[in-house]
Every structure is written in structure tokens, then in C-alpha cells.
Amino acid sequence: MSPSAEVALSARDVSKAVSGPDGRLQILDGVSLAVPAGESLAIVGASGSGKTTLLGLLAGLDNPDSGEIVLAGQSLNRLDEEARAALRRRRVGFVFQSFHLLPALTAEENVMLPLELDDGADAPATARQALAAVGLSQRLHHYPSQLSGGEQQRVAIARAFVHGPSLLFADEPTGNLDARTGHAVSDLLFELNQARGTTLVLVTHDMNLARRCRHVVRLDGGRRVEDAA
């Protein structure tokens, strides 16, 4: 990373453990990383290596036991849950493997949610623009059950980008899709990310997807063991 590059997200010596039947289980152990603004980072590793735990910590969804995380210029350690939630609403978008669409809401209504939570003006028009950007102008009033898996993930991507986040977190964004649909969805994700200048952090088992990122961090047993650019 260039010394002059703006850092959108950083972690320093982050550790996390949980209590289990056999005592304390170390999930992450002294992980550090930095992501320049507008660039992309893939977090890879075997199941149980700590990838999703790290993603949740970076997004402020949980607190580390030790270490510091700075997101959009703010140290998450110094914010309470209410302040972290407000920061996520303003600055962060999420794309999940399981889509997480609300089944009782249409595609348009699902995409409107982040805007309504933050009192966004003209939420319907903004949501329609976001759905048009992912090629779903003809699916505005369809419910998730009426959409294919690829269409549901495109709705989720529209929802993630609709409020103009500076950072986007994606957890196995193509994990529930067949290879062809997954490739199309990943193309869309990277195209929108580049067009909007968003910083992208994703967790994936798919090394082909990971290699599309500017940076790759590998975890093994909760430790950072390798990264490539």
C-alpha cells in the first residue's frame, strides 16, 4: 500500500475467543490488515479459520477481545453499539450468502429498507434506480419467492449499494448460486463496486473470486498466514 493512500479500514492485532465445552477456543489471534479506500480485499481460508468472525468484527457487528479496528476513520473500540449501528447505516453495505431478503416485502420494498431506516428522501425512486442498475426493473413488485436465486442476490446487491456506502462487506456472495449465475453475480458486484468507488471486503472459498480482488488475506487457525496482491 502506498504511504499516501487513504485507509478505509484497518485492524491491528485483533483477537477473539469464545467459551466452549472444552474451555476457551481461540477464533482469531493477532490479525492485522489495512484496506486502502476504493480497493478490494478477499479473506480466504479453510472452514473454521475465522473468516466470517473477522468480517463481523471489521464491520462492527461484534467486539474483539483485544486489538483495534478503525472503520471510515473511526475506532470501533471507542463506540457503543448504538454509535456503531449508526455508522453502519451511513457508511456500510452488506451482501450475504443467504440473501437475507424479507419474504413479505417486494424487491422494491426490500431495497428501500436502508433508506427508510436512515430517513432517506424519495426512497421509492432511489430503490427503483438501484434495481435498474442490477437489471431488475421488471421485478420491482415481485416477492423473493417469485425470484430465482440469482435475482434474489441481485436484489441484495441493489440493497447494499442503494444508500451509497463507502464500504461493502460480502460474505460468500456467490455461495448459494450455481457456477454460471455466480459468475454473473460476481461480475455485477465488481462492476458496481468499481463504478461507485466503494471499498470491498469479501469472504469466500472461491479462489477465482478472491483473485479478482486487489488484495488477498489468508487465515489459518485464526492467524494471518499469507497475503498476495
What tens digit of pLDDT does each residue of 103-145 get? 999 999 999 998 887 766 688 899 999 999 999 999 999 999 9
d(CA 84, CA 80): 6
d(CA 227, CA 42): 9
Q: Which CATH number goes with the domain that contains 130?
A: 3.40.50.300
Give 36-69 pLDDT, tens digit per residue: 999 999 999 998 899 999 999 999 999 999 999 9
Q: Is residue 52 part of a domain?
A: yes
Considering its fold, how many domains does the chain have in total?
1
Print the domain residue range for 204.
38-63+81-215
Write down the residue that cell numbers 474483539 correspond to.
64
d(CA 91, CA 58): 13
Average pLDDT over residues 193-202: 92
Looking at residue 153, what is its pLDDT? Answer: 94
Q: Is residue 17 part of a domain?
A: no
Q: Is residue 134 part of a domain?
A: yes
Looking at residue 111, what is its pLDDT? Answer: 95
Q: Is residue 92 part of a domain?
A: yes
Q: Is residue 228 part of a domain?
A: no
Give 198-209 pLDDT, tens digit per residue: 999 999 999 999
CB-neighbour burial class of residue 66 (10 A; exposed 0-12, middle 13-18, buried 19+): middle
Q: Is residue 3 part of a domain?
A: no
Q: Is residue 226 part of a domain?
A: no
Please tell me the pTM assigned to this model.
0.89
For residues 106, 107, 109, 111, the Cα torsion angle rounded to the nearest 10 degrees is 160
Q: Are 102 and 93 in contact (CB under 8 A)?
A: no
